[in-house]
A and B are shown apart, each in its own frame.
Chain A
Amino acid sequence: MSLRGRALVFGDDVSTDQISPGKYLKLTEAEAGLHAMEGIDPTFSSRVRQGDLLVGGRNFGTGSSREYAASSLRIAGIAAVIAPFFARIFFRNAINQGLAVLECPEAGRIREGDELDVDVVAGEVRDLTQGFTLAATRLPPHILALVEAGGIVPWLERRLAAERAPQGPPAGEARGPASGEQQGLAAERVP
């Protein structure tokens, strides 16, 4: 899963109140998506382009569990979010929404407007403008499967379809992805 796009860079502790302000909570998901990042950059929705890569500072997505924070970025066109580390609810929400999130300790080296090439599977962020490659934490296979499926809803659709199929679920798929322990993932970072 490779993503190429332009970096939009933000600082530390960007909160969900800034990514998707509370006053938009009562809107639909699609409507709220038009106001992504409005609480920190009112020009964001006019300058963001499909496939842009959002680079955040430490603790990106701190605050509430509102899923609009993740879905707004996806709807705005953001292909992946890269940050040294994330607030854990935002991290899981992004995955469940099919929005790739990469924990990249040195993300602070990326500058506004840099052209990036991100390999989500390998956990690599290449800055083509500055000419360096940064390591990012690799997502465990069962988490990657959720991202690649487009989020938990399409993933559940597949799983339920398999369970309802007359021949029964395919081997090993009966209970969804194998546990991390079975796949030897205990050392990988997932909040």
Chain B
Amino acid sequence: MGLTVSEKIIARASGRASVVPGEIVWCAVDLAMVHDSSGPRRLGPLLERLGAEIWDPSKVIIVTDHFTPANDQTEVEIARVTRDFARDRGILRYHEAEGICHIVPLERGYVRPGMLFVGADSHSTTAGVMGAFAVPIGVTEMLGVFVTGEIWLKVPETTRIEWSGRLRDGCMAKDMVLKVLGAIGDDGATYQALEYGGEGVYALPFDERIVLTNMAIEHGAKAGIIPPDEVTFDLLGGAGRDAAVYPDADARYLRLIRERADLLVPLIAWPGAPDNVAPASAAKGERIDQGYIGACTGAKYTDLEAVARVLRGRTLASGVRLLVAPASKDVMRRAAESDVLSTILAAGATLLPTGCGACAGLGHGVLGPGERCISSTNRNYPGRMGHLEAQVFLASPITVAASAVTGVVTDPRELL
């Protein structure tokens, strides 16, 4: 019987010809990522307690993105511990304030097709956009990886999501994710791998594909994976082709979900959970105080481009603030070199440093009681972006921008 992409990568990493869902296997890890919150501040003391060394420092990535730039002395100290750990333990792939931990490894070309990747952050599913099997884990689990280079995994069932047709103007990859989330719920793929395919996926630019695998975790999935194509290989300068993994024609899927990109409309998630999904038009007129363009999900270069397109020649609604925290320094530089950044600023938006920021309830732009925000981020559980009684709508960057212009939740097609 044929294998899915996830099964093939797990089989290779565990030294087997084949695996079946439900099997528990020990896998060799190709790449391990931690950030300043989940990383050295916790792992350093534990490694010392064990008297252990990192199995292979060349396979470790450390990104400082949660507590930078520092807001207080605690954050200063966390950044210092992280920096010292990288230096003392010979980790060269160390990036401070250069961008978010799910974006930087993609920009640097660290993640390659066919890899088994683990990351100590739930959105580590993002790396699956390169055709890697990328699993989010906790920090103590990462300690085991750091010491042994291995992790035990239960081979997941795979659900395949096929998107036919192409998105129409006004829709983005975020709407594709919300569509499936609304259909299967935020626990609809718990313990499973998601494998994406179809014209609707491969017609997306790479930046947009990131949204699909980034939010695989929002369905409860263990991994989200897009088998690579020419777009992927181009990004890697032609590399990665030899290790690329594709599903067998007779691969067995737990479930096949078929959706049509050409019929999609702009969507939002009502406050409370990412699967409270409705058309943006159904929430028309809901008042907002803040728009937030940020996070690994929603502040990549094409996101800022889409925002600029809506904001060009317009200004923010009175009393509404729009905060923009680019996903990386590289994104910020590109936006500054084109007219994207100047357009966004001309409309009245506020530029924030790159980093996780208010998406994780940190940094600038957290919300107060009763405040309402529409956000291009990935999660809106109560308290996520600050106060427990703040309300967060999730939407695509273009829908966030349109809503910031009108001051109420707005279907972006009204402004295109």
**Interface set of A (CB-CB < 8 Å, partner B):** 13, 15, 17-18, 21-23, 25-27, 29, 39-40, 58-59, 62-67, 70, 85, 87-89, 92-93, 96-97, 140, 142, 151-153, 156-157, 160, 175-177, 179-181, 185-187, 189-191
Q: Report if A64-B121 is in contact (Cβ < 8 Å); known contacts: A13-B273, A17-B384, A191-B154.
A: yes
Taking the closest CB of chain B, its distance from the CB of A29, in whole angstroms, is 8
Q: Contact: A89 with B186, CB < 8 Å?
A: no
Does B141 sit within 8 A of A, measured CB to CB? Answer: yes
Taking the closest CB of chain B, its distance from the CB of A58, in whole angstroms, is 6
Q: Write out the residue numbers on chain A whose beta carbons fall within 8 Å of the beta carbon of B388.
A: 21, 39
Q: Write out the residue numbers on chain B whose beta carbons fall within 8 Å of the beta carbon of A176.
A: 26, 148
Q: List 9 A-B contacts (CB under 8 A).
A: A13-B186, A23-B361, A96-B138, A151-B140, A153-B143, A160-B147, A180-B23, A186-B22, A191-B222
**Interface set of B (CB-CB < 8 Å, partner A):** 20, 22-26, 37-38, 42, 46, 49-52, 66-67, 74-75, 78, 120-122, 124, 136-141, 143-144, 147-148, 152, 154, 186-187, 190-191, 217, 220, 222, 273, 360-362, 366, 379, 381-384, 386, 388
Among A97, A153, A177, A181, max chain B CB count under 10 A is at A181
Q: Write out the residue numbers on chain A whose beta carbons fall within 8 Å of the beta carbon of B75.
A: 26
Q: Contact: B25 with A67, CB < 8 Å?
A: no
- Chain A at the B interface: SS class: loop
Q: Contact: B138 with A22, CB < 8 Å?
A: no
Q: Contact: A156 with B121, CB < 8 Å?
A: no
Q: Contact: A18 with B382, CB < 8 Å?
A: yes
Measured between alpha carbons, how far is A91 from B20 in the docked complex, in Å? 22
Q: Write out the residue numbers on chain B whose beta carbons fall within 8 Å of the beta carbon of A151.
A: 140
Q: Write out the residue numbers on chain B whose beta carbons fall within 8 Å of the beta carbon of A180.
A: 23-25, 152, 154
Q: Which of A21, A58, A140, A189 contacts B383 (CB 8 A)?
A: A21
Taking the closest CB of chain A, its distance from the CB of B14, in whole angstroms, is 9
Q: Contact: A13 with B187, CB < 8 Å?
A: yes
Q: Write out the residue numbers on chain A whose beta carbons fall within 8 Å of the beta carbon of B138.
A: 65-67, 70, 89, 92-93, 96
Q: Contact: B381 with A157, CB < 8 Å?
A: no
Measured between alpha carbons, how far is A40 from B362 in the docked complex, in Å? 19
Q: Contact: A97 with B140, CB < 8 Å?
A: yes
Taking the closest CB of chain B, its distance from the CB of A45, in whole angstroms, is 15
Measured between alpha carbons, how far is A63 from B360 in the docked complex, in Å? 11
Measured between alpha carbons, how far is A17 from B217 in the docked complex, in Å? 15
Q: Contact: B37 with A190, CB < 8 Å?
A: no
Q: Write out the residue numbers on chain B whose beta carbons fall within 8 Å of the beta carbon of A185.
A: 24
Q: Report if A152-B187 is in contact (Cβ < 8 Å); known contacts: A17-B384, A21-B361.
A: no
Q: Write out the residue numbers on chain A whose beta carbons fall within 8 Å of the beta carbon of B143.
A: 152-153, 156
Q: Contact: B362 with A153, CB < 8 Å?
A: no
Measured between alpha carbons, how far is A59 from B220 in the docked complex, in Å? 8
Q: Contact: A92 with B137, CB < 8 Å?
A: yes
Taking the closest CB of chain A, its distance from the CB of B44, in whole angstroms, is 13
Measured between alpha carbons, how far is A62 from B331 in the docked complex, in Å? 30
Q: Which of B144, B148, B220 contacts A87 (CB 8 A)?
A: B220
Q: Which of A87, A177, A190 contacts B187 (CB 8 A)?
A: A87
Q: Contact: B382 with A39, CB < 8 Å?
A: yes
Q: Contact: A65 with B121, CB < 8 Å?
A: yes
Known: A152-B141, A153-B46, A185-B24. 5 other contacts (CB 8 A): A66-B37, A89-B122, A160-B52, A186-B22, A191-B154
Q: Which of B154, B186, B361 contacts A62 (CB 8 A)?
A: B186
Closest Cβ neighbor of B46 among chain A residues: A153
Q: Write out the residue numbers on chain B whose beta carbons fall within 8 Å of the beta carbon of A65.
A: 38, 120-122, 124, 136-139
Taking the closest CB of chain A, its distance from the CB of B222, in whole angstroms, is 6
Measured between alpha carbons, how far is A32 from B107 in the docked complex, in Å? 34
Taking the closest CB of chain A, its distance from the CB of B223, in whole angstroms, is 10
Measured between alpha carbons, how far is A13 from B218 in the docked complex, in Å? 12
Among B24, B147, B388, max chain A CB count under 10 A is at B24
